[in-house]
Structure 1
Amino acid sequence: MQIQDARQALRIPPLLRLGFRPFFLAGTLLAALAVPLWLLALHGGLADGAPRGGWLAWHRHELLFGFAGAIIAGFLLTAVQTWTGRPGRPGLSGTPLALLLLLWLLARVAWWWGGAGLLLVSSLAFFAGVALVMARTLWAVRQTRNYPIVGVLLLLMAADGLSLLGVLQHNDAWQRQGVLAAIWLVAAMMGLIGGRVIPFFTQRGLGREQAVQPWAWLDWAVLLGSVLLAVLHASGLALQPRAWLGALLLALAAAHGVRLWRWFDAQLLRMPLLWSLHLAYAWLLVACLGLALWHLGLFAGFSQALHALTVGSMGGLILAMLARVSLGHTGRPLELPRGFALAFALLNLGALARVFGVSLAYLPALWLAAAAWTLAFAAYLYWYAPMLLRGRIDGRPG
């Protein structure tokens, strides 16, 4: 039966053999195009081709629900087979995977073509489809440890609905509430998944006998704190500075700091596949501190602190995970393509420019951040797209 399954899997075009292939490719392409398009639109260069709801609405939504949503889907749909102890069982592939990809593509296109209903239905159906596949796979083996992932996906779908209703009703407050809620839900996912894979990858990369053992209470504190912030933003309570929210964010920053301290080993600084992960997680700490200071009335740069989370941490962790997961799941050694470490440096340069540089020279820093971001993800496409479009080098399915 396994031989027959393998033969059938190898008949599927490589791009549709596992979730990471189409969604890493599509999500990264969107990331590389969306930021320069937004800056061109911001400076009046694309006035005649505005998407539904305007360029700001599109920018808010697409870099989160489009780009990050695609990467989350690709990672989860690929990793869940290993998590459930069924790596030999075929994951979502072939026609079902193509249909899920089609939903994602329809949601991107619907900003310009198709009715308002198409935008709302296709975007929500995409997240519902990912959540359903995850729920069925986890339920099959009663793996309760990963049930929170399904919950976060459903909350992300609800935040998407709130954001898109804001777009369709021309309600800017709903848009902001939905997007900010989703940012913290992605942060919750980063804390949940990162809390597992970063110490594990560090252990493997440094040749340790075992990874740093997690503290369950700390893991739950990070998860629940991030979800609570998502709910508070969705309700609108967190849109204005509040001292008690500053205290919550300081506590969350401390939790992330303890995690980083426990995971750190000076040897990882010599390995781009490791320091890129740790540095991206450190940006999450910076974001929590900056937003805490904003709520406490000690810092005026809400947008800067928020971009520490979205550009530095979210973008950085995504790029680092893309680089590693794509190697492992295409059967390649965990060795970066020559020169690819520059992409990690560019991403972090872009984060520095967007978070700190804009206070010194706004427009030059903004363009520098956009160029660095775009080049970093274009580098991934250049080196990794051929891997995603071809079969595994060991001849196995997947």
Structure 2
Amino acid sequence: MTTATPSPSRPTDPLGILLAAPHRAMFLIGALALLANMTWWTWALLAAWHGWPFAAQAMPSAWAHGFLMQYATLSPFVFGFLLTVFPRWLNLAEVSKRTYAAVFGLILGGGLVVLAAQSGAPSILPFGLAAMLAGWLIALLALGRRLVQNRGRDVWAVSCFAALLLGAFGIALALAFACGASPRLMQVANGLGTFGLLLPVYFTVAHRMVPFFSNNVIPGYRVVRPAWSLVALWVLLLAHLLLDLAGFAAWRWIADLPLTGLLLWQWLAWQPWKARRPGLLTVLYVALAWLPLSFALFSADSLSLAWHGTSGWARAPLHALTIGFFASMLVGMVTRVTHGHSGRPLAMGTIPWIAFLGMQLTAIVRVLADAARQPWPVYTAAAILWLLVLAPWVVRSAWIYLTPRRDGKPG
């Protein structure tokens, strides 16, 4: 009697399963960071609100919150997606396991060191940032080689790669700050993370994939994804960023009003009224609705500064963008990729729905918090709500990344 041996293409050990595909490892980092970094931020909010003692930090809490959430939490999801689909977009060889394993290890280790630097060991910050940058550059080299092979013919690949380059520059600026350079560099790094890295990548992926998904399931759907809208987004986002960083926020409406119109037009051109089902498609359109709303708030903020010299919006527009759009789109798109690449049905289950609807509520609470007489309790409530609604989704997702595909296929 013989005993069947496992196929070498289907590892059975947890690490082998985790490294069976780029998205598994990188999505796991991001999923765990969603809870770890927000737990740290919740404690920072409570300490600031109540005057509790807080461990020595490498940088102000607000700067660290922006950096950790953008570069150490959302960016691993970006890499997990792009290291998987980028070669497929270009019809080229997949990224090797050695490459994405190195990216995984360096970004995971670097992110943990940065968090530790904010939790009592500030002197180690440069080491964490250097590790993250090294992982980032390895990924850029792998994707850049394929872009050169393709001769830059894919506009979506070019756009994503440009955003990743700006992200690498942002981490380099943060590293320079950690080594003693001007604190201003840290603020620039966080601005690049939002408007030079994450928003261009998110919009580019939506620009390519949302009409594709819609066309597959909606009879008579009309695909609208002109290259000019992608180029226009880049031009206007860079204008927004430069005006803000140069201290001309009162003139930022020059970019923000056209951005609001562009994003509203693109959302309507994708025909959201046709996407009432399936749920995995509906959530993408709901998340995309936050984009024009966010820039309408940015426009109002800038116009208020221009007319009155003050603005009562504080961070409301930014959180409409980061929670309303980034986090909502993350739940929808990552759930889709996770289900599709694990042999599960392409459907929103109970736990993903809780996470997605919870993100809508979290975004609303955080946006309205700036209008409260005592905003600190509301800030803290939004952070706690984030943790509560995402915890089941993170645990479920982590389990999927650490277990073999249901359909028996490799990857």
TM-score by length of 1: 0.88
Aligned to 1:241: 249
- For residues 316 and 26 of structure 2, what CA distance do their matches in structure 1 show? 28
- For residues 358 and 314 of structure 2, what CA distance do their matches in structure 1 show? 23
User: Cα distance, 1:301 vs. partner?
Assistant: 1.1
Select between 212-221 and 7-16 the one with higher mean Cα deviation: 7-16
- For residues 272 and 167 of structure 1, what CA distance do their matches in structure 2 show? 44
1:165-180 to 2 correspondence within 5 Å?
Answer: 165-169=176-180, 171-180=182-191
- For residues 20 and 224 of structure 2, what CA distance do their matches in structure 1 show? 33
Pick one of 359, 368, 379 that aligns with 1:366: 379
User: Cα distance, 1:225 vs. partner?
Assistant: 2.0
1:188-267 to 2 correspondence within 5 Å?
Answer: 188-206=200-218, 208=219, 212-233=223-244, 236-237=245-246, 239-243=247-251, 245-267=252-274
Q: In the alignment, does 2:304 pair up with 1:293?
A: no
Aligned to 1:383: 396
Q: In the alignment, does 2:29 pair up with 1:23?
A: no
Aligned to 2:339: 327
Where 2:249 maps in the other structure, the secondary structure is coil
Pick one of 108, 111, 128 that aligns with 1:108: 111
Pick one of 44, 52, 56 that aligns with 2:58: 52
Given that residues 198 and 277 in structure 1 are in contact (C-alpha distance below 8 angstroms), is that contact kept between their aligned partners in structure 2?
Answer: yes
Aligned to 1:268: 275
User: Cα distance, 1:260 vs. partner?
Assistant: 0.7
User: Cα distance, 1:168 vs. partner?
Assistant: 4.2
1:13 partner letter? G
C-alpha spacing 1:21/1:241, structure 2 compared with 1 (3 Å): same
1:108 partner letter? G
Aligned to 2:308: none
User: Cα distance, 1:213 vs. partner?
Assistant: 2.7
Q: In the alignment, does 2:368 pair up with 1:356?
A: yes
Given that residues 183 and 230 in structure 1 are in contact (C-alpha distance below 8 angstroms), is that contact kept between their aligned partners in structure 2?
Answer: no
User: Cα distance, 1:160 vs. partner?
Assistant: 1.9
C-alpha spacing 1:329/1:211, structure 2 compared with 1 (3 Å): farther
C-alpha spacing 1:268/1:364, structure 2 compared with 1 (3 Å): farther
Aligned to 1:81: 87
Where 2:315 maps in the other structure, the secondary structure is helix
2:146 partner letter? T
User: Cα distance, 1:123 vs. partner?
Assistant: 2.0
User: Cα distance, 1:103 vs. partner?
Assistant: 0.7
Over aligned residues, Cα RMSD in angstroms? 2.5
Structure 1 gap segments, 5+ residues each: 1-5
Given that residues 86 and 143 in structure 2 are in contact (C-alpha distance below 8 angstroms), is that contact kept between their aligned partners in structure 1?
Answer: yes
Where 1:312 maps in the other structure, the secondary structure is helix
1:20 partner letter? H
Where 1:359 maps in the other structure, the secondary structure is coil
- For residues 269 and 366 of structure 1, what CA distance do their matches in structure 2 show? 32
Moved over 6 A (4+): none
1:310 partner letter? T
Aligned to 1:284: 291
- For residues 166 and 141 of structure 1, what CA distance do their matches in structure 2 show? 36
TM-score by length of 2: 0.86
Q: Deviations over 1:196-252 (max 9, x none)?
A: 11222222243x35551322222211133224434555xx21x44232x20211101
- For residues 48 and 216 of structure 1, what CA distance do their matches in structure 2 show? 49
Aligned to 1:163: 174
